[in-house]
Amino acid sequence: METVQLRNPPRRQLKKLDEDSLTKQPEEVFDVLEKLGEGSYGSVYKAIHKETGQIVAIKQVPVESDLQEIIKEISIMQQCDSPHVVKYYGSYFKNTDLWIVMEYCGAGSVSDIIRLRNKTAIFMIPTNPPPTFRKPELWSDNFMDFVKQCLVKSPEQRATATQLLQHPFVKSAKGVSILRDLINEAMDVKLKRQEAQQREVDQDDEENSEEDEMDSGTMVRAAGDEMGTVRVANTMSDGANTMIEHDDTLPSQLGTMVINAEDEEEEGTMKSKALMKLKSWTVEDLQKRLLALDPMMEQEIEEIRQKYQSKRQPILDAIEAKKRRQQNF
């Protein structure tokens, strides 16, 4: 076999912090990159060991926490030396926190996986048979056999990638031309749907235009001792005239009634103008506009989330401070 020579050989792997590193400030030994989350005793951060460049996890635990449990945890981790157990590298005291340097597990917390189902996947995999198709009549025998070979539990009995490439399902696969035809067919269907939606927009635009031609406005009945006055004022942007009608036959006035339709009319006018603008666009312009909506939505959601977090964090800090004061007393 050919040997591959690395251009930049890796630095030595971190096994345990030496005495020289433990006497320094933790910021001199590690660069903290980001906060990963919060555990039962404190917060966990992702950091990099400056000397070796190795990624580690640092758990910062307040000193007023249950130190007995923490010391017990550290003593257990010190005695464990297994690839299946999280490694312990060392500890620091920094201000009022204890920094515990441990192996970084990039896959995340097992508790997140456990909460995905009522029964944990870890317990289901060894006890249950491999999954099967709910409706096998919809799939070919070659495809079901291919998936079955991929889901064999025993690695020794499971087919390798080389063997799977020789499977009839893969060998009998058609060329890329069939995918090209499917893509073209899908694009035609998509274009027809867009044209149908555009026709609906045009129809709604015509209906809105007809509604705009109708007279609608504000009627005010003013209370008085002698005669009532009904004023019908058109609030449309085209600036229609104002009609004033004097009522000489009403013996008395019961009060003032105001009916406003300005907000609805303004909203309808804005929608009508927007639809008229979209009507003049080409299909390509509409598609570009549609693609640009998702990033805009994500940006607005992120801004709202940041505003919410800026209001939420001071409350959480105040709660945490009160809890610490209660523990001190």
Q: Is the model's pLDDT at 167 over the cut of 70? A: yes
Q: What is the pLDDT of residue 115?
A: 62
- Mean pLDDT (whole number) for 23-49: 85
Instruction: Write down the pTM of the prediction.
Output: 0.33
pLDDT digits (tens, 9 = 90+) for 217-264: 444 444 444 444 444 444 444 444 444 444 444 444 444 444 444 455
Stated length of the chain: 329
Rounded CA gap, 137 and 150, in Å? 20
Q: What Rg, from alpha-carbon coordinates, does the chain have?
A: 36
pLDDT tens-digit series, residues 120-135 = 566 677 778 888 899 9
What gap in Å lies between CA 62 and CA 41, rounded to an integer?
8
- The yes or no reply on domain 12-106 and CATH 1.10.10.10 is no
Strands 243-247 vs 228-234: parallel, antiparallel or unpaired: antiparallel
pLDDT, residue 261, reads: 46
Three-state DSSP class for residue 140: coil
Annotated binding-site residue? 153:
no
Those residues with Cβ within 8 angstroms of residue 233's Cβ, 6 or more apart along the chain or in another chain: 217, 218, 242
Average pLDDT over residues 297-302: 87
Closest CA to 36 of 24, 28, 25, 44: 44
Which pLDDT belongs to residue 140? 93
Q: Which of 108, 122, 168 is nearest to 144 (CA)?
A: 168
Domain map (residue ranges) of the chain: 12-106, 282-320
Q: What is the pLDDT of residue 272?
A: 60
